[in-house]
Structure 1
Amino acid sequence: MKVDQKGHTTILKNTQGDCVAFLEKVTTQHNSFKDQNLILDMSKDKDVKLKQIKLFSDLSKTHKKGKKSFVMVVQDIDFNDVPAKLTVVPTLLEAHDIIEMEEIERDLGF
């Protein structure tokens, strides 16, 4: 796992290609990132399936309770099948845009 910090956002890159191991690492180290917006970059892993993405639901819910964004970057999936409670986008640029919009919404009290 590679950690990249930019301002109020932390990008965690899955470098091993194993979603379950990545989820375990992020979950065990969540306290280190709980005050930051999180982007989980899984774009390098071409074999990510919807079933694996759904495993991140509990972590996403926990992180969003802290009024911070939780966005996953995954390519080559049908985004219409992703549950509404998860935020999944195809590129890092879109992940940053989502976080920016969510920050504005929180500032406005939505």
Structure 2
Amino acid sequence: MLIDKTGNTSIITQEKATIIELVKKIHALYPKFKNDNIIICLTSLNKINVEDIVEFLQLSNTHRNNKQSFVIVSNKIDLDDVPDEIVVVPTIQEAHDIIEMEEMERDLGF
């Protein structure tokens, strides 16, 4: 797990461990990220399925309830299969775009 913090956004990149191990690590380190927007980058994984994405659902809901963005980046999953409650995009740039839009919405009171 690699962590890169830029401004108020933390990018967490998964390289080797399983999705379940990654979710556990993020839960353990959550106080460190709770005030940041979070991007989870899973592009280095060879296979990923909807069940893997759903593992992040509780963490995503908690983070979004705290008025922060939570975006997963993966280009190895059909985005139409992903539940609407969690944001998944194919590129890091799109993740940054989503965060920028969500920050504008929060600033406007949505």
Partner of 1:16: 16
- Counterpart-to-counterpart distance in 2, 1:103 and 1:15: 28
Paired-residue identity, %: 42
Q: Unpaired segments of 5 or more residues in structure 2?
A: none
- Structure 1 residue 76: deviation in Å? 1.7
Normalising by structure 2, report the TM-score.
0.97
* Structure 1 segments (4+ residues) deviating >6 Å: none
State how far apart, in whole Å, the 2-side matches of 1:76 and 1:16 are. Answer: 16
Matched residue pairs, number? 110
Partners of 1:12 and 1:77 in 2: CA distance: 18
Unaligned 5+ runs, structure 1: none
Tell whether 2:37 aligns with 1:45.
Answer: no
Q: TM-score with structure 1 length normalisation?
A: 0.97
C-alpha distance in structure 1 between counterparts of 2:30 and 2:64, whole Å: 12
Q: Which residue of 2 aligns with 1:34?
A: 34
CA deviations 1:36-87 (Å, max 9, x no partner) are: 0000001110211111111110000011111000000011211011101100
> Distance in 1 between the 2:54 and 2:108 partners?
30
1:17 Cα deviation from its structure 2 partner? 4.4
Structure 2: how far apart are the matches of 1:39 and 1:103? 14
3-state SS, counterpart of residue 94 of structure 2 = helix
What aligned pairs does 1:19-98 form with structure 2 within 5 A after superposition?
Answer: 19-98=19-98
Which secondary structure state, in structure 2, belongs to the residue aligned with residue 29 of structure 1? helix
The match for 2:99 is 99
Instruction: Kindly provide the amino acid, as one letter, of the partner of residue 52 in structure 1.
Output: D
